[in-house]
Amino acid sequence: MSVLLSVIYLIATVTFVIGLNKLGHPETAKKGNLIAAFGMGLAIVGTIFIHDIEVPVIIYVLIGSAIAVGSIIGWLIAIKVEMTKMPELVSLFNGFGGASATLIGLVEFSKNVDSSVQATTIVSGIIIGAVTFSGSIVAWGKLNGSLRSVVKIPQYNLVNNAFFIAVIALAIYMIAIGTSSPLLLYGLLVGGLVYGILFVLPIGGADMPVVISLLNSLTGIAAAITGVLYNNMVMLVGGILVGSAGIILTVAMCKAMNRTLGSVIFGSFTATGTVESGNKTLGTIKSTTASDAAIMMNYASNVIIVPGYGLAVAQAQHVIHELEEILAGKGVSVKYAIHPVAGRMPGHMNVLLAESNVDYSVLVEMDDINPQFNNADVVLVVGANDVVNPAAHNDPASPIYGMPILDVENAKHIVVNKRSMNAGYAGIENELFYNSKTSMLFGDAKAALTDLVSELKNM
């Protein structure tokens, strides 16, 4: 490797670190993304044009064509994707990263079968890449509604673990005998793909943020393995950064849900069906109108808004920002309470609200906002369910018991906007809806918020 290419890789590595650091805050995330993208572009150009071997012109044409096609497709997808579809896009990107690692492994295996170290690296890349690809596709299907949220598999743990052991055993056998048999190689590929499906299929929708961050970590690990294979430092460091960041985020998501990673992988929330109004155990439902809710907020001093996935589905982020501005113009203090797993991926609500130009200073994380609910005159919950369910505190029998939630129940008045009384992704009843301080504002989030804005403007 030339000195110039080493310098380019060093610069690219530094941009990855800087970019990752800036991704930690919404205000600097865009700049961080651009910095890291620049570094990756620099590394790609350096890899293509700085080398010690003679390369036919046709190779440059093929590489250039692939980059052009991929760039155009990626650009079109990125500018057209709606914020509600962002988790699905992230899942697809994870899958494509895994597929790339798998394809590289398939191409390189027969060339390195005599080296046990290289063969181990390649086989690991094939397995992890295949699991990531098929698992990400299943996650994508769950997120866009093509697949059921939870698919029960009889004796799941036994089947899943047995299959995993079989895949690992096959990999060890192939490395031990040094075979380049296409039959065994593609058998390993199929095994990895099937395990990826078995791995994600039974996991419930409430655990999707954890699954997405875990798959993202696996994509990074697959990239790092490819970096080891080619002795490419920029791929190795980039993969390590993505893999380690994904693991840290996965642990943080599990902590936010009071779940262990094992319970996410080997179990799921148990659905209990939909909730009926007037439940005899929990009490009765009290509904309200946009007019009454607007009056309540108009005379409040302190309003906290809790955004959830329903806000994203209705694409109501711009309307809720308008509502916030109207209230602020009336002298009302307005803040947004952000739960770590609100939405369908980590940081989903932060990105959604940033898109509508909500000031970052009014986005308050769970640990900081929870003590403030006691002083809130009105809390407006829009499309959130499980992250505000008091059962996490009150019901030891609940599957979400112990999960850190937003302490909405402590506010003086609570307005909850939902389409219906259907249960959330965890599939359990929400005690908050039956609270004597809670009023339900039924309807599509965008329509309900638009009515609220209209009522407030007339006051």
Q: Catalytic amino acids?
A: 386
Q: Any idea what DSSP says for residue 387?
A: G
Residues 6+ apart with CB under 8 A from 183: none
Percent of the chain that is helix, strand, coil (3-state, to 5): 65, 5, 30
In contact, 147 and 136? CB cutoff 8 Å: no
Helix (H, G, I), strand (E, B) or coil at 265: helix
The first and second tokens of residue 85, run together, are: 């579809």
Task: Please state, in angstroms and rounded to a whole number, the distance separating the CA atoms of residues 325 and 359.
Answer: 10
In contact, 179 and 109? CB cutoff 8 Å: no
Q: Which amino acid does the sequence have at 275?
A: V
- With b meaning 16 or more CB within 10 Å and e meaning fewer, what string describes 27-52? eebeebeebbeebbebbeebbeeeee
Q: Any idea what DSSP says for residue 77?
A: H
The first and second tokens of residue 321, run together, are: 């920002």
Longest Cα–Cα distance in the chain: 80
Task: Please state, in angstroms and rounded to a whole number, the distance separating the CA atoms of residues 343 and 25.
Answer: 18
Q: Which CA distances in Å does 176 have to 79, 173, 192? A: 48, 5, 19
Helix (H, G, I), strand (E, B) or coil at 326: helix
